[in-house]
Amino acid sequence: MNIRDSKAEALFKKINTVFLCIVAVLCVLPLVHVLALSFSSSRAAGAGIVTLWPKEFTLEAYNYAIGRSQFWRSMGISLSRILVGLPVNMVLTVLTAYPLYMYSRSFKARNFYAWFFFITILFNGGLVPTYMVVSMTGIRDTLWALILPTAVPVFNIILLLNFFRRLPKEISESAYMDGASHLRILFQIFIPLSKPALATLILFVFVFHWNSWFDGLIYMNSSENYPLQTYLQNIVVARDFEMYSSATAEELKALAEVSDRTTKAAQIFIAAFPILIIYPYLQKHFVKGIVVGSIKG
Amino acid sequence: MKALPSAKAKRNVPLHLMLLPAVILVLIYNYIPMLGVVMAFQRYIPGRGLFGSPFTGLDNFKYVFGLSGFTSAVRNTVFIAFIKMVTGIVVPVTFALLLNEVRAKKTKKIIQTMIYLPFFLSWVILAGILRDILSPSTGIVNKFLMLFTDESVYFLANAGIFPWVIIITHIWKEFGYATIIYLATLTTIDPALYEAAMIDGAGRLSQTWHVTIPGIAPIVILLSVLSLGQILNAGFDQVFNLYNFSVYSTGDILDTFIYRISLDNLQFAIGTAVGLFRSVVSFVFVVASYWLADKLTDYRVF
């Protein structure tokens, strides 16, 4: 009985492992294929002979991509958006999480403020009113349109305040008794103790800013001011889209033959590159941040 | 004793100051747009602005509810979001349970690394990849299918297939992340429970049934309940970057509908009305989901 059981179990384990490996491979195959395309000649791509390894290896697609001045402009806008947006998000997160971490017995207005921020998760004015406010405040077509409307990341604030609440209370309480100011407690006690949580939040914000494309699309009047993801969206998606809307089925098929496939593939990978570089860190910290921060008990 | 509260209030002044910048920004970019929804009840005239435009009661809503595009957008949104919700629970839970049976640590780690990667890439990037591999003439998926049939499938222009492409590619992007959350929970189950079960003669299957599943049940319930709030969120980024006019009948969702009405047709008041409808219904579902989560699992957001 036992022997048969363990035999069946061993068989299950093998099948299980093979199945999981197949699924895992399927998950990355599309990426590998398009990466192979990006390093192939446009002739090979057009002939459809590229599968998972570059055919007629060449960097021509990458050369083409980085030879466009708009590419560099958009890259610059993406980088400056991170350079400015990340500190803005983080400073506001830290400054807001601290007062909200307190209990209402020591900070009476705490619950009022907490609801004030939380309501923005529950309800929003929608696309048009937000768009109009961005216009009215005069930041359309500037870098600030990509930063100010999302400057207060309420979800991250909640994660951080929950993290603060799990820090040992004795230190901050005794510091408070000794007359330390709130700012001092925040900067000299809380921040040093919260480095892992802050690292996670920095990764969140980095990925958020790097991947955002929609705000660029609607708030920038001229495509010159698009950040990289919006620029990519314009190349890979929108241009096809315009042609789709008037084409017949036959024309659509013909259109799909046109081989700017390799240059699109190259640009997709350039835009994915920073994420791939920090992927080991993302993998390590992302879930930890969520699990530790939001789910209690 | 009387002096104490005011001393405390004084010491709390910096707390208000710390909150001030965030309060101002949220007031401007979150609360003022909430007031802007009055446009939904106006015949908006750009030259006259929000205060000068005439009120028309519920006319915009009557108009919107009569549009066939609106009804189909609502239907598509609920359908796609609902299937995403169900698969968003079933697939990762199953995958996590299976992955938990893999004892070789390295294999387990490699599998996790591979399934988790698409989660971090934007829908612009993933849509770029999908548009290439799903192309009817040059896409590798059709190249593969042609080994078995002669007709290529136009995945992104076939209204019958399109919603399923959306659902499957959504699973592709998201299931790795959820799987890893469930795996992390599985590791918190007390090993003593498994030992006790083994002493009682429980086999692997019955250990899974009696120890593992009850162990992750609370978080599965919590995440399922919270996902209820997403019933009108069918995934704007994804659909917008994959759809086209030939799949509007099955693939157009509320958010893409709002986008086209507002920013392509520039019907601001109508777009605002549809947006308000979406916000109000979502609000009800999100609040209900938080309430349920609190009742069922004592979950509190803050």
- Return all residues near A262 (Cβ < 8 A) that are at least 6 apart: A37, A38, A40, A41, A42, A45, A60, A61
Query: Using CB atoms within 10 A of its CB, is residue B279 exposed (0-12), middle (13-18) or buried (19+)?
Result: buried
User: What is the distance of C-alpha A40 from the center of its chain?
Assistant: 29
Beta carbons of B117 and B176 less than 8 angstroms apart? yes
Q: What angle do CA B96, A35, A281 make, to 5 degrees?
A: 50
pLDDT of residue A79: 97
How far does the CA of residue B129 sit from the closest CA of chain A (Å)? 7
pLDDT of residue B288: 95
Query: φ and ψ at A259, to 5 degrees?
Result: -100, 70
Structural domain includes residue B268? yes
Q: How far is CA B245 from each of CA A248, B156, B182, rounded to the nearest angstrom?
A: 12, 10, 38
pLDDT-derived band at B202 (thresholds 50, 70, 90) equals confident
pLDDT of residue B116: 95
| Nearest CA among B125, B126, B130, B157 for reference residue B141 | B130
Structural domain includes residue B13? no
Any chain B CB within 8 A of the CB of A111? no
How far does the CA of residue B165 sit from the closest CA of chain A (Å)? 14
Query: φ and ψ at B301, to 5 degrees?
Result: -75, -40
| Digitized pLDDT (tens) for each residue of chain A, 297 residues in all | 455 567 888 898 999 999 999 999 999 999 999 999 999 998 888 888 899 999 999 999 999 888 889 999 999 999 999 999 999 999 999 999 999 999 988 899 999 999 999 999 999 999 999 999 999 999 999 999 999 999 999 999 999 998 999 888 888 888 888 888 999 999 999 999 999 899 999 999 999 999 999 999 999 998 899 999 999 999 888 655 444 455 556 555 544 444 588 999 999 999 999 999 999 999 888 776 555 444 443
Q: How far is CA A213 from each of CA A68, A219, B224, rounded to the nearest angstrom?
A: 19, 10, 29
pLDDT of residue B301: 76
| Nearest CA among A38, A75, A74 for reference residue A267 | A38
Q: In this predicted model, what pLDDT tens digit does every residue of B241-293 receive, in sequence order?
A: 999 999 999 999 999 999 999 999 999 999 999 999 999 999 999 999 999 99
Structural domain includes residue B34? no
Top mean-pLDDT range of A168-172, B4-8, B35-39:
B35-39
Structural domain includes residue B43? no
Distance in angstroms (rounded) separating the CA atoms of residues A126 and B69? 19
Instruction: Supply the CATH number for residue B94's domain.
Output: 1.10.3720.10
Beta carbons of B180 and B112 less than 8 angstroms apart? yes
Structural domain includes residue B236? yes
Identity of the residue numbered A10: A
Cβ atoms within 10 Å of A110's Cβ, excluding its own? 20
Q: Which region, left, alpha or beta, applies to residue A141 given φ > 0 means left and ψ of -120 to 50 means alpha?
A: left
Buried b (16+ CB within 10 A) or exposed e, B99-120: bbbbeeeeebeebbebbbbbbb
| Nearest CA among B13, B298, B290 for reference residue A118 | B290
Buried b (16+ CB within 10 A) or exposed e, B197-214: beeeebebeebbebbbee
Nearest CA in chain A to B237: A214
pLDDT of residue A6: 78
Inter-chain residue contact B132 with A127, CB threshold 8 Å: no
Beta carbons of A117 and B22 less than 8 angstroms apart? yes
Structural domain includes residue B119? yes
Structural domain includes residue B99? yes
Any chain B CB within 8 A of the CB of A52? no
* Domains held by chain B: number: 1
From the list A24, A116, A129, the residue facing B111 with the nearest CB is: A24
How far does the CA of residue A99 sit from the closest CA of chain B (Å)? 6
Helical axes A2-38 vs B105-116, angle rounded to 10°: 40
- For an interface test with B, the pick among A49, A96, A128 (most B C-beta atoms closer than 10 Å) comes out as A128
pLDDT of residue B228: 92
Q: Which long-range contacts (CB under 8 A, 24 or more apart) does A107-115 make?
A: A107/B12, A107/B15, A108/B9, A108/B12, A109/B12, A109/B15, A109/B16, A113/B19, A113/B23, A114/B302
Domain that holds residue B176: 75-297
Distance in angstroms (rounded) separating the CA atoms of residues B125 and B237? 11
Instruction: Over range B216-237, report the average pLDDT.
Output: 92
Query: φ and ψ at B42, to 5 degrees?
Result: -120, 160
Q: How far is CA B291 from each of CA A154, A161, B170, B300, rounded to the nearest angstrom?
A: 19, 21, 27, 9
Structural domain includes residue B109? yes
Residues in chain B within 8 Å Cβ distance of A218? 263
pLDDT, greater one: B185 or A287:
B185
Beta carbons of A89 and A110 less than 8 angstroms apart? no
Distance in angstroms (rounded) separating the CA atoms of residues B130 and B140? 10
Beta carbons of A267 and A235 less than 8 angstroms apart? yes
Q: How far apart are the first and last CA of chain B?
A: 32
